[in-house]
Every structure is written in C-alpha cells, then in structure tokens.
Structure 1
Amino acid sequence: MIFGEKLKAERNKKGWTQDELAEKLFVSRQSVSKWENGLNYPSIEIIIRISDLFGLTIDELLRSDEELTKQVIKEGKQLAHPRLKFIFDVLFLVGVVLLMVKLGVLILNKIASLDITLLGGKLLWNLGPLILMIIAGIGSSMLKEQYKQD
C-alpha cells in the first residue's frame, strides 16, 4: 500500500475528515488531499506527527511508499552538515565585508582626499578577503561533493 492510500485508510478508521486531520497536523486541507492522492509528500516532521496520531511506526509509513522513502533520505542528506555549511557561509560573508570595507576606504580616500589607513597592514586587506572567500568556496564545494556521494 502506498503512503497516500495508507494515510487515507488510517484517517477513515478514525472517522476524521481531511480538514480535521489537517488541523491536527497544522497544515492545510489541500496538503492532506495532495498526500492522499499521491501528488506530494509530507516532510519528515509531518511524518513523525502522522506516526504519533495514528499509532504507527515511522517504518510502517515509510516502507509503504518507495518514493516517500527516497524523499526522506534526500531531505536527511540536505541536513547532514548544516553547521559546516553555516561556517563556510559566514567565512565567505566576512571576506565580502572585508573587501567592501577596503573598497569603501579606497573610494573615500580618492573622492574626499582623505588619508584613512586600514589597521592590520596591506597583506591582511589585500589577501585576507580573497583567502577567506577561497577557503569558503573550497569548503562548500567539498561539502557539496560529500552530499552527492552520500
């Protein structure tokens, strides 16, 4: 039995309408309808709620539909390394901010005939942003490759 059929059968056993089930899951009736008709699948969080509501194991729900199983696995892979992705994103943004600060100071020095010097020396301001952005890019790329392999 595929997931949609199982969901509908369990809902009918409880005597619930699609609206009532949707309320219990904090989703729209249209979402429940799409799940039951096999047009869409719920997220893993919703699957857990469905499991709790109907007293079924997650295994019973997932193994009922191969496509749903694939989707849950895919979602799990996307969440596999969120902290690392966040760190690489922050590194990239720090590099961009440093580059923007340097460009802003250069433009101000030219336009306003100021002589603002950046603390830390030329090496930090010339190579720092580039190094940070390269490290972030390489790290993100490696993470993406690992995601593809998983």
Structure 2
Amino acid sequence: MSPDRRLPYPDDVLAHRPRLGLRIAKLRRAARLSQDGLAERAFVSRQSIMRWENGTRDPRYLDLVALAAALDVTVSELVDLDADLVR
C-alpha cells in the first residue's frame, strides 16, 4: 500500500494562492507582457500562467525561478505577498 501523496493544505495556506496570482499578474502587466509573452519567456504554457494568476494552481519552485527571471525580479520579490500591501 502506497502512502498518501500529500495531505490537504490548511485553509490559511491555500489563502495565499490568489494573492500570489495577483502578484504574478501585477508584475506581468508592469513588464508589459501578455500571458503568452510571459509563458514564452518562462518556458511554461499560457494555461499555467492563467491558472497561477487565477489562484487555482501553485507554481513549482523551478517555475518560480523561471517566472522571476522572465519578469526581471528575484524569487523573493516575486513571492513577497506583503509588498503590494505596503505600496
């Protein structure tokens, strides 16, 4: 019998998905990129960008690295979800 793949995330963790999605979308627009353009630069599909921005999926770590490079920000800046609250 194989172990459970993963336990469900708690609600407070899942609450970060939409905030990260908004952050990705904001940085993408600031870089004047379409979802297609960002997808091409980050070597992912447009559907992935759409899902991340909509908060229905989480990017994997290497996708975050590729997104940050494509948006010309650091991974820390990309995932700094409090940055939008301060500015």
TM-score by length of 1: 0.39
2:35 to 5, 13, 18: 18
Choose from 41, 51, 72 the match for 2:68.
51
Contact kept, 8 Å, 2:21 with 2:53, in 1: the verdict is yes
Q: Which has the higher helix share?
A: 1
Tell me, in whole angstroms, the C-alpha distance in 2 between the residues paired with 1:62 and 1:13: 16
> % of aligned pairs identical?
34
Counterpart position of 1:94: none
Alignment length (residue pairs): 65
Shift of 1:59: 2.0
**Using CA pairs below 8 Å that are at least 6 residues apart, which structure has the higher relative contact order?**
2
List runs of 5+ in structure 2 lacking aligned partners: 1-17, 83-87
- Alignment map for 1:65-144 (pairs within 5 Å): none
- The higher radius of gyration belongs to 1
Give, in whole Å, the separation in 2 of the partners of 1:59 and 1:13: 17
Deviation at 1:11, TM superposition (A): 0.8
Write the distance in 1 (CA, Å) between the matches of 2:57 and 2:32. 23
Q: TM-score, normalised by structure 2?
A: 0.64
